[in-house]
Amino acid sequence: MARLVLHIGTHKTGTTWVQDCLAAARAPLAQAQVIYPDLSPHSGHHGFLTDWIALPAAYATPGGGRAGLARLARQLRDSEATLLLSSEELSRAGGPGGYTDLDVLRSLFAGYDILVLCV
């Protein structure tokens, strides 16, 4: 079963450093079946959240937004891979009005084992 790990570190807790380290380790992580998507030039995954949260235009990337999440979910659903997403913007959860809609995330990743880390 595919797994989704959401690292939702809150603002000003070292999340960017964690994201930089994960981005630098993308290749060895992939060898261990841990997928840390590349949304260059950013090491985090704020670009997947632009459909929900008004973020600076620099975070809007091709392959991002809800469509990008849906594409990843479809690609990995029948695998044993772990998809690791990291964005402090995920800690702004709740729905309409500038918050990530976790119900939509849950439906996009139906069938995944989901773990949320807030560290």
pLDDT, residue 119, reads 83
89 or 78, which is more confident: 78
Q: How far are the Cα atoms of 26, 62, 68, 88 from residue 93, in angstroms, in the given order?
A: 26, 23, 19, 10
> What mean pLDDT value characterizes the chain?
91
| Residue 2 and residue 79 in contact, taking contact as beta carbons nearer than 8 Å | yes
Reply yes or no on whether the pLDDT at 79 is more than 90: yes
Reply yes or no on whether the pLDDT at 87 is more than 90: yes
pLDDT, residue 93, reads 65
Q: Residue type for 100, please? A: T
Q: To which H or E segment does residue 4 belong?
A: strand 3-7
Q: pLDDT band at residue 61, thresholds of 50, 70 and 90?
A: confident
Each domain of the chain, given as residue ranges in start order, spans 3-117
Q: Which two tokens stand for residue 25?
A: 């380790």
Report how far residue 9's alpha carbon sits from residue 104's, in angstroms, rounded to the nearest whole number. Answer: 20
pLDDT, residue 43, reads 96
Q: pLDDT band at residue 102, thresholds of 50, 70 and 90?
A: confident
pLDDT, residue 117, reads 94
Instruction: Read off the pLDDT of each residue in 28-54 and give the average, rounded to a whole number.
Output: 94
Total residues belonging to the chain = 119
Q: Which two tokens stand for residue 13?
A: 């807790």
Instruction: Read off the pLDDT of each residue in 71-88 and give the average, rounded to a whole number.
Output: 97
